[in-house]
Structures are given as structure tokens and as C-alpha cells.
A and B are shown apart, each in its own frame.
Chain A
Amino acid sequence: MVQETEAQQQTEASASADDRMIVAEDVKKWFGHFQALKGVSMTVNRRETVVVVGPSGSGKSTFIRTINRLERHDGGRIIVDGTELTDDIRNIAQVRSEIGMVFQSFNLFPHLTVLQNITLAPRNVRHWPKKRAEEKAVQLLERVGIPEQANKFPGQLSGGQQQRVAIARALAMEPKIMLFDEPTSALDPEMIKEVLDVMEELAESGMTMIVVTHEIGFARHVADRVCLFDEGVLVEKASPDTFFDNPQHDRTKRFLSQIL
């Protein structure tokens, strides 16, 4: 136990300033009078996969949505790869182009084919020529295992296939960070695995990831660290083994007893 803590301290100490991909300091967020985030601080290092769990309404989705400015944070600081998120539109555009996001409800563009969904942002934000964007899209569709669906519309695909297209669409911008907001919650049970497989492969390839999910198996298996959010507070942050087998906080124990 003591050894493990030392080892952890060592890794955190050895992480130089350059290695910190996302730094959130004392982030606060209100919706009207309701305080959704009550001062959350978190650092995510390069190539790290952080899984965020917690009951609904705990602020976990709100937190990852502040990282790419889908929600504006009302207090604290968020620095993504050295760029601080302020009201400056250029900073927001810069940060968004480095972060890919995958949503619970896929949010594919229903009027565009799979290929057009994936090439839209590279062509219009990165200004790649059509050929280059399409080559990249085909590569990515192969990577997520559905190259044969390129010319279909999202409505013609299963939920699991749609979510894999959504992952490919986010990856097409060659992001340094991927955010997943409950990516499997809207899926039928038999489709969850095909999406988790893609995410696992992505984590193994060294992508920096924050994943909000209820998939405990995935958290145990893939996460470098697991965080528990409750009532807008980051309650516990630990390695998966410690988090699931030897949690430090009563709140974590209660949460785990409810879901396991």
C-alpha cells in the first residue's frame, strides 16, 4: 500500500509540465441558481485514459463539456495543451480543433453520408483537399471496422455502427484529446462491445482520453485512472485497482455497492 502511493507520487513528479494535456483548476459552473460544478481540479497527462463515473446529475458530463467549451465555465481555469480557455474566440477554435468529442446520442449529420460526415470538418476547418480528406476517412472507417458503410446515410446504420462513425468523424480532425460523453448509454446491449473495442484500441494507441461511462468492465480494463463525481465535486481519483478494490472514500464505497 505504502509502496504503491510512493510509486504514484513518483509518476506524478516525473510528469513534466509538457506532459500535462489538460489542466483544470477549481472549475465552477452554475445553471441558474444550481451549481453543477463546485470547484473541480483535475490534470490529465499525455497518453492517459481517465474514466469518470458517478450518479446522474453529478456534473461529470458538464465537466467534460467545459473542456471544449460546449459549456462556458464560470470560475477557475482550464488549460488544454498550453492554451487557456477564455472568451477569446481564437482560443476556443484552437482548443476545439485539438479535441474530438463523441456524444451519447451520436449526433451524426443525418443529411450527409457517412463519408461526408467524416470529411466535413477536415475539409471546412482544416481546408484539406477533398481527395486527402476522403483517403483519411476511408482509413478511419477501416480502423473502426465498417469500411463498407461509407456511402450509406446514418439513418441506415445500427446504433453501434453510428457511434463508430461518430468516433471516426472525431478522429478525422487528428485530435490530441478525445472526450467520450456516455458513448454506449444509448446503445442496445449487443452493440456496446463493438464500440468499447474501438475505444480500447484507441486508448492502446496512446490517445489522451476522458471517458464518462457506466461500463465498469471498461473502466477496470482500460483506464489509467478512475474518478468519481458526486454533486459537482471530484470525490475520488485513483488507479482502477485501488478505486474498485480498495476505495478510500465512503461515497465511493456506497456508489460501488449500488452498481456492482
Chain B
Amino acid sequence: MAKDLRGRRRFGLEDDLGIPTLDDAPAVEAAPVSEPTTPGEWIHQNLFSSWINSLLTIVAGAFALFLLYSIINFTFFSADWTVVQTFMKAYMAGPFPIEEVWRIWVCAYIVSILAGLSLGISRWRPRIDRRSAVAAAIWAGPALLIILYVIRTALVLTLTAGILLAVAGGAVIGRAMGSRLRKPLFVAWFLLFPVMLLIVRGFDGVPPRFWGGLFFNLIAATIGIVVSFPFGILLALGRRSDLPAVRLVCVVIIEVFRGVPLIAWLIFSRFVVPLLLPQVDTPIIIRAFIAMTLFSSAYVAEIVRGGLQSVHSGQLEAGRALGLSPVRLTVLVVMPQALRSTIPPMIGHFISLFKDTSLFSVLAITELLAAARRSSSSLEFLGHDAETLLFAGLVFWIIAFSMSRWSQRLELRLGVGER
């Protein structure tokens, strides 16, 4: 009996259906190779292809040069960075007592080592070729210069360099240990937050009213993200529940908390909650964290709802037909797909939540932005707002940009097998 390409028995239909057989395989031809362009050709094609492009290139180039000149001029000549150097501790830790700052350094080192280990066991490897090296030099060189110029305390410099070493060391160890570390690392990240709280608060530590600076922004953002993520998922699921009461409660929570600005919720948690519920005796900071978390949960819920809608109904039917219970169906089939499609808006929301932690300044907490503004209103450095705000902005940007890059990597990694 005749066989097809895979050596299976033929049915007599192949010729009608056009199934290829061994006889009619076409010859393989190589794709044409494109000529590499010289730098001159590249410039001509991309910058001066027509008179209007030439004009745009010249105008934009002049503007870019002017901007570069102004930045260099400001950074190295007209700016006085003494204010940043003087208030560095306030920017990073607010009113945190200086003799207890070691607690924050310990936390920073733990995070760095964990981050390094995670980097080491991940499949990501730095690509080192000429192009990426040049790009890195252009981008990291000035950044390093600025950091060195701004931070001039030997101790801080040493400790900062130590953090980079901790990341690198962690990466090397992680690479050597491989995937054996995967489970312990997962547990370590999970335990990180309670351990950090213990380091900061425990052993005669520092109560929350002394927290401030970037340290506070990071703590607040972490709490907001870690709590609002699961809570938002529950709200989104509740909104699709079959039970009208559950649905109603979830819709009310989502719409109420989404409809009022975060800053209003923070003020509300400080001044109005004690009036409405005088029995509740929780510290301001806890009430404010709860307000922020509920606010963030409402947004997460709506993002997740979008993801849930993108899951095809056939997926539910297939799961049901296999006999999966509603809970297993949600956890094993629906959620992994729904959450994957929500990574970009979700990280976007978390980035804005991180930046919104600067709103805690209305509760008289000297987080990074408040510390920056306060430093330039001190008598000695009056009028140095440009330096302080630029520095605070740079710090916010570095962290937000890192989160955005991490989200891109996450998308790439989880995108495997998607159509």
C-alpha cells in the first residue's frame, strides 16, 4: 500500500487533497543575502534621504546638542550639589535615626544578594558585543560620573560599591548553583518582607513614625503591590461571581475606591476615619496603607477583569468538559492566561503606585520628594530646588525604569508558546 511523507498508510484521498508525497519535494534555494551598508550609506538613507528629512535632522541635531551642552553645563558648572550631599541621609531614610541606619543597609544587602542570586539562576545572560558595550558606556558612564560626583562620603560610596558587589557575587553563586536554588530562593523572597520588618522594627528598632525618604517609598510601594495584587484578583473574580450579593459588594468597592483621588483617600484615612469610627484605634500609617491598598486593588481588579475577558470561552468549556472544578479551572486554566495578558498594564499600574507614594507627604511623612523639597527650603540652601528635584526625579526614574525593563523581560519569558 502507498505511504505518505510520514510513512503512514495512504487512504487514496491524498492526490485529491494535495498531501505532499516523497516524489514531489521541491529543491531548496537559499534566501538572497542583503549587502551590509557602510556608515556613509546608513547616514544618507536614514538622516538625509530628502530635503525635509535633512532639515529635520539639522534642526533636531542642533536642539539635541544645545540640550546636551545645557545639561553638562548645569551638572558640572552652575549646579551646587552640596545640598544633595548634605541631605543624602534625609533623602534615603528621612528622620530615621542616624545610629540605626545600619538596619536599612542590612536590608539593602539582603535584597541585593537575593536579586543577584535570582539573576544568576535566570536564563538571562548579558550580551556583550561592540554595540551593546558602546550603548552601555554612553548610558552608564555619565550616570556613574553623576553618582560619584553627587555622593562624596567615603562610607556611603564604599557601602554602595558593596551593594553592586553583592549583586554580582549573588549572580556568580546563583549561576554556579543553578536551578537547585529555585525553590529556596522563592521561599526567601516570600519571607523577605517580614524579615526586613523584623530587622527595622525588632531588637529595639525604629517605629514607623521615624520612617522616611526613599526607604519609605519602597516600603509603601512594596506593601501596596504585594497586598493589592491578590486582593485585586479576588475583587475581579468576585465581580464575575454568580452570587448577586458578592458581585454587588465587589463592584461597590471597586467603583468607590477608583472614583476618588488617592490623595483624598490618604487625607480621609488620617482625619475622617477617627471621626467616623472613633472605636478604631490604629496608627495613622496603618490606616493610610489600608487606604492605598484598597485604592490600588480597585485598579488591579479592573486590569484583571480585562485579562479575564480576553480568555476565550472555549478554554472554560474545555476545562469543564475535562471535569475540572470551578476553583481548579480558575487557578489552573483561566488565571495563568488572564494574568499573562495583563503584565504590561499591571506593571504600569505598579509603577504609578510607586510614584504615588510621594503623596504620603500629605500625612507629614518625609518621603523622598518631601525630603528633597524640605532640603531646598532650608536657610543654607535656599533656592537650590533644581538640584534637589532633579536628584529626587532621577532616583524615581531609575527605579521606575528598572521595573519597566523587568516587565519586558517577564513578558518575553512568559510569552513562550503564545501564538
Residues of A within 8 A of B (CB): 68-70, 93, 96-97, 99-101, 103, 105, 107-111, 113, 120-121, 124-125, 145, 152-156, 166, 169-170, 173, 189-190, 192-194, 197, 217
A93 touches B318 (CB 8 A): no
**Contact assessment for B314 and A107 in the assembled complex, using a CB-CB cutoff below 8 Å:** yes
For B18, the chain A residues whose CB sits under 8 A away are 189-190
Q: Is the CB of B419 within 8 A of A155?
A: yes
Contact across chains for A156 and B323 when beta carbons are under 8 A apart: no
B405 on the A face (CB < 8 A): no
Shortest CB distance A97–B (Å): 4
Decide yes or no whether B180 CB sits under 8 A from chain A.
Answer: no
* Cβ of B336 under 8 Å from chain A: yes
Interface set, chain B 1-21, CB cutoff 8 A to A: 6, 8, 11, 13-14, 17-19
CA distance A153 to B317 in the complex (A): 20
Q: How many A-B residue pairs have CB under 8 A?
A: 88
User: B314 near A97 (CB under 8 angstroms)?
Assistant: no
The answer to whether A170 touches B11, judged by C-beta atoms less than 8 angstroms apart, is no
Contacts A111-B336, A111-B340; A97 near B321 (Cβ below 8 A) = no
CB neighbours (8 Å) of B321 from chain A are: 68, 70, 96, 99-101, 170
Stretch touching chain A among B48-56, B129-137, B324-332: B324-332
Q: Judge whether A153 and B416 touch: CB under 8 Å.
A: yes
| Distance, CA A156 to CA B418, complexed state (A) | 8
* Contact status A125-B323, CB under 8 Å: yes
B314 to chain A, nearest CB (A): 4
- A110 and B417 CA atoms in complex are apart in Å by 7
Seen from chain B, the residues whose Cβ lies within 8 Å of a Cβ on chain A are 6, 8, 11, 13-14, 17-19, 312, 314-315, 317-325, 328, 332-333, 336-337, 340, 416-419
For B20, the closest partner residue in chain A by CB is: A190
B322, A103: Cβ atoms closer than 8 Å: no
Within the complex, the shortest CB–CB distance from A44 to chain B, in Å, comes to: 17
A sample of 16 cross-chain residue pairs with beta-carbon separation below 8 angstroms, ordered by A number, consists of A68-B321, A70-B320, A96-B322, A101-B321, A105-B314, A111-B418, A121-B322, A121-B324, A124-B328, A145-B6, A153-B417, A155-B417, A156-B417, A190-B18, A194-B8, A217-B13
Q: Is the CB of A103 within 8 A of B317?
A: yes
Known: A121-B322, A153-B416. 12 other contacts (CB 8 A): A97-B323, A99-B321, A101-B318, A103-B318, A107-B314, A107-B315, A107-B318, A111-B337, A120-B333, A125-B324, A145-B6, A193-B19
Q: Are A93 and B323 in contact (CB under 8 A)?
A: yes
Q: Contact between A108 and B318 (Cβ–Cβ < 8 Å)?
A: yes
Judge whether A190 and B17 touch: CB under 8 Å: yes
CA distance A68 to B319 in the complex (A): 12
CA of A173 to CA of B340, assembled, Å: 28
Cβ-neighbour of A109 out of B13, B17, B333 (below 8 A): B333
Assembly CA distance A105 to B318 (angstroms) = 10
Contact assessment for A193 and B11 in the assembled complex, using a CB-CB cutoff below 8 Å: yes
Query: Given the complex, which residues of A lie within 8 Å of B320, measured CB to CB?
Result: 69-70, 96
